[in-house]
Structure 1
Amino acid sequence: MEDMVKGRIVKEAAELFHTKGYRSVTLSELAARLGMSKKTLYLYFSGKEEIAEAVLGLTMNAIAGSITEQLKREDDPLGVLRKTFYGIKGELVKLHPIFLEDIQKFAPGLWERLEQFRARQLVFIEELLTRAKQAGQIRDVHPRLVAAMMMDSIQRMVRPDFAAKHGVAIPEVADTLFLLFLEGLRANRKP
């Protein structure tokens, strides 16, 4: 029962965060939409930041699950990397840019947890790049270094502030960055 109530709170909060961002949502508004008191919300969550963390947790868990499944695949490493990238992007677009921007500005602890999660994906990228190098799909580069460069670029550029500064959407930044890395790594093929 408790998990069902928590799930309902997180689902409703996610919808509110999607339409209004993090900063503009109040616990009173969330409680009213759920038909419960603010006091009841506090029985399940310590505050708005913990609720937002649960919303982010759903996305991070979905991404981690997808990565785990993809790593089990033995086929084309670059294809697996591409498929996983687009799967991750699909999960991330569920988090509205306003929500992400607000988290970055007004909940730096949450933003840091998101950044740490992204940094942990380094192992996944390195493993796939190592497989791709062994299969002759990419240039003779150091997979760990390339993975670190890719993750650093993602953390610096696939952010609301970067996208806004350049007048584009976050998915466009992600797509461009991924395309540059993937095509730049691809081994030269002789005609």
Structure 2
Amino acid sequence: MRIPLDPRFHGEPTRVSTSRGARVLPRQRFWLRVAEPLPHDALLRSRALTYASDLFPLSTAPHTGPPELLRRWSPPAKGSSYAEAMPASRRTARQTDLLERLVALLTAEGFASFTLDELTERLRCSKTTLYQLADSRQELVREAVKHYFREATKSVEKQVAIVSEPSDRVVVYLNAVAAELKPLSRQFLDDMARFEPAREVYEANTRIAAGRLRQLITEGVAAGAFRDVHAAFVGEVVAATMQEIQRGEISTRTGLTDSEAYAELASLIVHAVSP
């Protein structure tokens, strides 16, 4: 029986701290989740726990380690998404192309109604080829969502990086987020809201997007471009509004498109924090 494990570090991994020259205790704290519930088998559970306890002993030791290991599980950089922080599998060019075509299909039409047979027919590939991306239909969907947000984050940050004025950076960030989310169909968003593994990725990205905006506002305050506002509160307001936009609630109540709603949100935030 194969049980995929999904570790999430609680705080900065030890090897990352030591690579910066920090002196830390040789211990590691992380959450560990299985993709499926473990059977009620005491022997199997004890074996799983034994295996899990041996995941990071070498990296927990106080040494720097090779750079490629440090990069693999480093915590998210400021402004990055959870999807970007998760390590992408090493794929061939063909597998990457297949994943991108899968993302395009699911974001355009949703995924709840698709069977594996239908996916293989639409993507013109075999189940064996599709299973090289993930071990199950559920994991395929989650991998597609992660890939979409990973690439979207890269695009957004590239646009923010070329702008220096604090108010412009806030506007560019929110408009770039709107542009990246615009291709997502309502069916895909509804399916994602109902499917917990995909929803978790989306919600994590929304939280980090709010944190990124909070960082941009804090930088603006420090530079004297913004009033001394409560950046964390502004971030929470933005996160709540972003969630309502994506659920279609803003469009229903106001008639605004998602892009128009993001433009209004950007204008509102900049005017609220300006001196």
TM-score class, shorter-chain normalisation, is: 0.7 to 0.9
- Asked whether 1:154 is paired with 2:242, we answer yes
CA separation in 2, counterparts of 1:48 and 1:170? 29
Q: What is the aligned counterpart of 2:221 among 129, 133, 144?
A: 133
Query: What is residue 6 of structure 2 aligned with on the other side?
Result: none
Shift of 1:129: 0.8
Q: Which runs of 5+ in 2 are unaligned?
A: 1-89
Query: What is residue 31 of structure 1 aligned with on the other side?
Result: 120
Q: Give a deviation string over 1:8-43, Cα, whole Å, max 9, x none.
A: 322222232244212232221221233332243223
CA separation in 2, counterparts of 1:132 and 1:89? 22
Report the count of equivalent residues.
Answer: 185
Task: Indicate if the aligned counterparts of 2:178 and 2:258 stay in contact, CA closer than 8 A.
Answer: no
Task: Indicate if the aligned counterparts of 2:213 and 2:235 stay in contact, CA closer than 8 A.
Answer: yes
Q: Which runs of 5+ in 1 are unaligned?
A: none
Query: What is residue 84 of structure 1 aligned with on the other side?
Result: 173
CA separation in 2, counterparts of 1:127 and 1:176? 20
Q: Give a deviation string over 1:86-145, Cα, whole Å, max 9, x none.
A: 22222111322221111112x122112211122123332222112222333333312222
Task: Indicate if the aligned counterparts of 1:14 and 1:55 stay in contact, CA closer than 8 A.
Answer: yes
Moved more, 35-44 or 62-71: 62-71
Other structure's SS at 1:22 match:
coil
Instruction: State the Cα RMSD in Å.
Output: 2.7
User: Matches of residues 55-74 of structure 1 in structure 2 within 5 Å?
Assistant: 55-66=144-155, 68-69=157-158
CA separation in 2, counterparts of 1:153 and 1:64? 19
Shift of 1:72: 5.4
Shift of 1:67: 5.4
Q: Larger RCO: Structure 1 or Structure 2 (Cα < 8 Å, ≥ 6 residues apart)?
A: 1
Query: What is residue 51 of structure 1 aligned with on the other side?
Result: 140
Moved more, 70-79 or 84-93: 70-79
CA separation in 2, counterparts of 1:70 and 1:172? 19
Task: Indicate if the aligned counterparts of 2:174 and 2:262 stay in contact, CA closer than 8 A.
Answer: no
Q: What is the aligned counterpart of 1:118 among 190, 193, 206?
A: 206
Query: What is residue 20 of structure 2 aligned with on the other side?
Result: none
Moved more, 126-135 or 67-76: 67-76
After superposition, the Cα gap between the structure-2 partners of 1:131 and 1:51, relative to the gap in structure 1 and judged at 3 Å, is: same
Shift of 1:70: 6.0
Moved more, 128-137 or 75-84: 128-137
Shift of 1:150: 2.0
CA separation in 1, counterparts of 2:133 and 2:151? 22
Normalising to structure 2: TM-score of the pair? 0.58
CA separation in 2, counterparts of 1:185 and 1:99? 34
After superposition, the Cα gap between the structure-2 partners of 1:74 and 1:24, relative to the gap in structure 1 and judged at 3 Å, is: closer
Normalising to structure 1: TM-score of the pair? 0.79
> Which has more radius of gyration?
2
More helix as a share of residues: 1
